[in-house]
Amino acid sequence: MPRILDVEQALLLLELEPPFDQRTVQLARRRMAKRWHPDIAPPGRQHEHQRHLQAINEAADQLAELAESSRGGRVTRGAVKVSAAAARKARADAGRRAYEAEQRARTAAEERAKHDPFGSRVPDHSVVHRYARCLSYPEWGVGTVTGIYFSGDEDDVQQWARVLFSIGVRTVPAGSLQFVDFSKPDAASARVQRFMTAAQHALAEGDPALAAQRLVYARDAEPENPAVLRLLTAAFWQAGNLPAAARAVRDWARIDTDRPTPERFAARIYEDMGAFDLAADAAAREASRAPGDASAWERLGRLRLRLMDRPGAISALERARDVGPSVEGLLDLALAYHLAGDVGAEVSAAQAATRIEPRSPVAWSSYAHALARTDRLAECADACRHALSLRGDPEVSELLARVTSAAPRGLGQRSAA
């Protein structure tokens, strides 16, 4: 049986009103693709999003082709009415045939029940739900189902619904609906999943404060859920509410006692708050839980430097150097040795930084300043020239001039000795 193009259903899928042209269809396709892309679907609902998006794209292709073949590139409201009437007539004919088949099946069932009354003890029943929630966008709240529709043929039949939410009517795949029974309270896990999905949508839209508000309800439903506490910490932190972020990360750390992630978040949040002692304690716990993470030891060393704990900073940065040296960590180590008065170790750390990253002007500048505190003036001048070849720096230029002017006197003293 040839398929009849139902323009009315295609417009409902794209949430369009006639008249329309190709540009209008294209904009509607983009809007619905952003809303129903599988990448933003909640867990277990990617297939529903994908099938619904396929139906939207198919309807958009049909409408765009219809607009292209229409006069003036525009489909009028009257043409849509004619097409809808033809589609309704076709559906009515299909419904009549289905009704006749159902009557025949019912007659056969009556005959079977008359001659075999105990053949089946399972009663036939149907329950129609009116109120539903969209699992993909739980922030829309509970809506009223205004219509259930089917699109496609044979094995590719898809069911979708029109639901009236507080924000307006939305076209959603039927598989993403969760019908609401007000006589039974929702399970805590279901509420958590809804609020988590809504919070992720708010974060994607750049509103971390709204995401934090939604995650507070998820935390109230399951206070010891580490996934909720982690996302709540990140939302408060992004929103700039550092005290609330600190409280959330403390709750998270009390639950997740084995992983270094909550302590890493705590160290960064406390550092942003200016509580460097608390940040150093959190960084120490992070490093003890992840001894093979060089960045954790470097963070601990930098925080101890800010607290003027030079031996502790040197110990942590040396541990980072052994685990996995980096330019930043070696430069912090050179600074720690400089503050401790160990010039030789400072030169060694700065030189190691230049070997790891030969194109780093900061490393060469640090190496040159470390050499300036020794009698290796020729090497200091070479390091200054190399740093200036990578990037101009007034301080390095001034150091080079000072070393160059002092070089003859230094060479004379060395030869006389």
Given this model, what pLDDT does residue 4 score?
A: 55
Given this model, what pLDDT does residue 187 score?
A: 79
Q: What does the mean pLDDT of the chain come to?
A: 85
Digit-by-digit pLDDT tens for the chain (417 residues) are: 345 567 888 888 888 888 889 899 999 999 999 998 888 888 888 899 999 999 999 889 988 888 888 888 888 888 888 777 877 888 788 888 888 999 988 887 777 666 544 444 433 433 356 888 888 888 888 888 888 888 777 777 888 888 888 888 888 888 888 888 777 777 788 888 889 999 999 998 899 999 999 999 999 988 999 999 999 999 999 999 999 999 999 999 999 888 999 999 999 999 999 999 999 999 999 999 999 999 999 999 999 999 999 999 999 999 999 998 899 999 999 999 999 989 999 999 999 999 999 999 999 999 999 998 888 888 999 999 999 998 888 999 998 888 888 765 544 344 333
Given this model, what pLDDT does residue 286 score?
A: 93
C-alpha dist (Å) from residue 63 to 10, 32, 87, 117, 192: 7, 15, 15, 53, 40
The domain 7-110: what is its CATH number?
A: 1.10.287.110
Beta carbons within 8 Å of 160's beta carbon, 6+ residues apart = 13, 52, 55, 148, 149, 150, 151, 171, 172, 173, 174
CATH topology assigned to domain 131-179: Thrombin, subunit H (2.40.10)
Given this model, what pLDDT does residue 125 score?
A: 35
Given this model, what pLDDT does residue 413 score?
A: 43
Q: Which residues of 21-37 are buried (b: 16+ CB within 10 A; e: fewer)?
A: bbebbeebbeebeebbe
Given this model, what pLDDT does residue 336 score?
A: 93
Given this model, what pLDDT does residue 169 score?
A: 86
Each domain of the chain, given as residue ranges in start order, spans 7-110, 131-179, 188-416
**Domain 188-416: CATH superfamily, name plus number:** Tetratricopeptide repeat domain (1.25.40.10)
Is the pTM of the predicted complex or chain greater than 0.75? no
Contact status, residue 42 vs residue 197, Cβ threshold 8 Å: yes
Long-range contacts from 343-352, C-beta under 8 angstroms, 24+ separation: 343/370, 343/373, 343/374, 346/370, 346/373, 347/371, 347/374, 349/321, 352/321, 352/325
Containing 228, the helix (H) or strand (E) segment is: helix 226-239
Within 10 A of 221 (CB to CB), how many other CB atoms are there? 19
Given this model, what pLDDT does residue 179 score?
A: 85
Given this model, what pLDDT does residue 415 score?
A: 36
